[in-house]
Structure 1
């Protein structure tokens, strides 16, 4: 896990357009090694805000496994300062999360359930980036924002995490005979092209843990092939 420092110039932007949640296949492990934060707000609210600065760190991973289990392990310690209607405003976001549960995908939303508690978050997956789209938890700032733009809705943050390619423990010895040979290739070929959720999908053939059996898995297989 790598620590990412956040700054208004490098990793935080205020956007005019509310981001669209496109959904996708979120299966995999996602890291905050190059986390980006975009904050979407209406033009009226943007005009009232200046000098936005985020400093601190976000450190951790999110793992969403095929079949439904999830694990969140991360720490957030971020200070937010800005000028709002000419006056200074500062908020600290401090949180440490280590939780497990099960998740389900409903259209463009992740439903995260642990025990009797469920949370819902909009998301998009594009290539190797997972974007989580949530209202900005900035305490009193939400009330101030509503006071000047009551029809605009709260600001929305987009947290962008990047896929971790974890192949260190993945073995292509599918038949368990101690070597990676032609019979393993036949088993792999029969599963090629399948995705998490498809009938017959088996995660052991998904050697890069990205939720599908594809060409990148074939490259991992070739690297282990004994002939």
Structure 2
């Protein structure tokens, strides 16, 4: 497993609702593999949750019931995605949401993963304290990252999260005068109070 924060898999789920504990399922997975700061592979698939999705989710994501009718099952897609993950560390924007769906869907097929999660939302709240919002689209605008696509589709959101992440790693690297930011450090940043971030980075 690579211990640098610039080598991991960035993932994003679109789902039928907010919680697998309430019976919600994944309907799309998108992911990009980053190695040494470069995107080297992608994964994207719609998946049929076994029931119709609401009109709200259709409008929010642009994913329609017609698109899902012919999609492979969640079980088939998640088996492929588990192979894609391998032993890589993982990243998502608002990772608690994506992690609970990843855990729930993989548990259905008795699969697991060995990597650890980082959350770009939590790291951004500490690194980009002047940002007006920490929603993905707002941060992309705030950091001046070029974007040409539709948010709330899984692969595009994963691609934008990857760009934002690499931008934040550059910012962190400048503060610690070290180009290789470790995964351990970004996890530490996410758990540190905002007022203590400068002290943490100055002592790292």
For normalisation by structure 1, the TM-score amounts to: 0.26
Greater Cα radius of gyration, structure 1 or 2:
1
Structure with greater proportional helix content: 2
By relative contact order (CA 8 Å, sep 6+), the higher-ranking structure is 2
